[in-house]
Homo-oligomer: A and B are copies of this chain.
Amino acid sequence: MFPLGRSPRLRPSPYFDKTVEAGVSSFTVYNHMLLPSAYEGGLAEYEALINAVTIWDVAGERQVEVKGPDAARLMQYLCTRDISKVEVGQARYTFICNPDGGILNDPVILRLADDHFWMSLADRDILLWAQAIAFLGGYDVQVVEPDVSPLQVQGPKSIDVIRTLFGDDAADMRYYRFVETDLDGVPVVVSRTGWSGEFGYEVFLRDGSKGGWLWDRLFEAGAPHGVKPAAPNQIRRIEGGILSYGSDMDDRVNPLELGFDRLVAFDSDDDFIGKAALTRVKEVGASRRMMGIRIAEPLSGNTTLLPVTVGGELVGRIGSMTWSPRFGQTLALALLDIAVAELGTEVVVEAPEGPHTGTVSEVPFVDRIT
């Protein structure tokens, strides 16, 4: 791995100093912000994640705030899901598509009020997309990046940490619900969401000056439960079939290719960007499909997209790959031509270690704990 040159252009998160104290060993860049990508390493962090509780600095999941009289109308035009069905206090995973149905982002959206939303972003400047649509569309809304910096608290013991700090109402929420609350007067949103596949929460800090303080409070509350700092865990999220924007999808991929037809509101009366294009795809059927691949041999994680072939012909590409200690296999998430996207098909993974035979399988490999 090469060193990352620091620059004011790459913002430290409000938790940066604490992550350094906690032993962060590498960073990535996410929405122009430094985001920890490892501490002890994926395998050690995986063990803490599935057995205890881990805390992740994901402030790089920047928020786009949409607020004002036309907020719901703009959100509906931007998102593929039916926004009228999202209640205040509810979060939803959605796609933001371009007019061709290509995916621009796959945020979790939170409805804070009838006229107030956040989009918790994957790595792309959706602020510009949303501001441009709001501006030319004449929507009466504010579209800004608020001072909001999420942490993820993930793992089976996360419920104890959240109960200690935020009480029963927060700890006992249903999946994809959230509450607006505070910790000693510092405003936060606590949600039952996360990118791990394990039981977990996110804590959205609404005052960037309190990052170090909040980090310490969470680790104090987590100490009796074996809390560890961790990065977004590639092993567990690939086992859980959780996709990463920029690796598993981009604007040349549509939601139907990912098998997410149910996240596209085809039956809604409301229009949204990409609806017409996606309706055409639905009529003729997607030409590719996101599938799992299992490989018997241990292969290293991929740092670029990897080709998948059958009989020497390119039939798809792998966006994410990891060794799974749970299965003793290498698991991959692959976008495959529909002809080979059948359970049990044998394919060849063109890995840096050389070609390896794999078997097409269902995703997720492991059900999510909700």
Residue-wise, chain A 1-43 has the 8 Å CB interface mask toward B (1 for contact) of: 1111111111110000000000011111100100001100000
- Assess A29 versus B26: contact at CB under 8 Å? Given A2-B4, A7-B303, A12-B304: no
Q: How far is the CB of A68 from chain B (nearest CB, A)?
A: 15
Contact of A26 with B9 in the complex, beta carbons under 8 Å: no
Contact of A7 with B32 in the complex, beta carbons under 8 Å: no
Contact of A28 with B2 in the complex, beta carbons under 8 Å: no
Q: With the chains together, A137 CA to B99 CA distance in Å?
A: 13
Q: List 21 A-B contacts (CB under 8 A).
A: A1-B6, A2-B25, A2-B26, A3-B3, A3-B26, A7-B37, A7-B244, A7-B247, A8-B304, A8-B319, A9-B245, A10-B29, A28-B29, A99-B135, A124-B125, A124-B128, A128-B128, A128-B132, A132-B132, A133-B136, A135-B273
Q: Does A361 contact B (CB under 8 A)?
A: no
Contact of B9 with A5 in the complex, beta carbons under 8 Å: no
Q: How far is the CB of A235 from chain B (nearest CB, A)?
A: 14
Q: With the chains together, A123 CA to B136 CA distance in Å?
A: 24
Q: With the chains together, A303 CA to B126 CA distance in Å?
A: 25
Contacts of A246 in B (CB 8 A): 7-10, 32
Residue of B nearest to A20 (CB): B2
Prevailing SS type, chain A contact patch: loop
Contacts of A245 in B (CB 8 A): 9
Give A contacts to B, CB under 8 Å: 1-12, 24-29, 32, 37-38, 98-99, 104, 123-126, 128-129, 131-133, 135-137, 231, 244-247, 273, 302-305, 319-320
Q: Which 8 A-B pairs have the closest CB atoms?
A: A5-B37, A9-B246, A132-B132, A6-B303, A4-B4, A125-B125, A1-B3, A29-B29
Contact residue among B24, B27, B37, B126 (Cβ-Cβ distance under 8 Å from A128): B126
Contact of B32 with A5 in the complex, beta carbons under 8 Å: no
- Assess A123 versus B9: contact at CB under 8 Å? Given A2-B24, A4-B27, A135-B99: yes
Q: How far is the CB of A33 from chain B (nearest CB, A)?
A: 10
Contacts of A126 in B (CB 8 A): 128
Contact residue among B1, B135, B244, B302 (Cβ-Cβ distance under 8 Å from A4): B1
Contact residue among B6, B32, B131 (Cβ-Cβ distance under 8 Å from A98): B131
Residue of B nearest to A78 (CB): B132
Q: With the chains together, A100 CA to B360 CA distance in Å?
A: 51
Contact of A4 with B28 in the complex, beta carbons under 8 Å: yes
Contacts of A131 in B (CB 8 A): 98, 129
Contact residue among B4, B26, B104, B320 (Cβ-Cβ distance under 8 Å from A26): B4
Q: With the chains together, A313 CA to B205 CA distance in Å?
A: 28
Q: With the chains together, A306 CA to B274 CA distance in Å?
A: 43
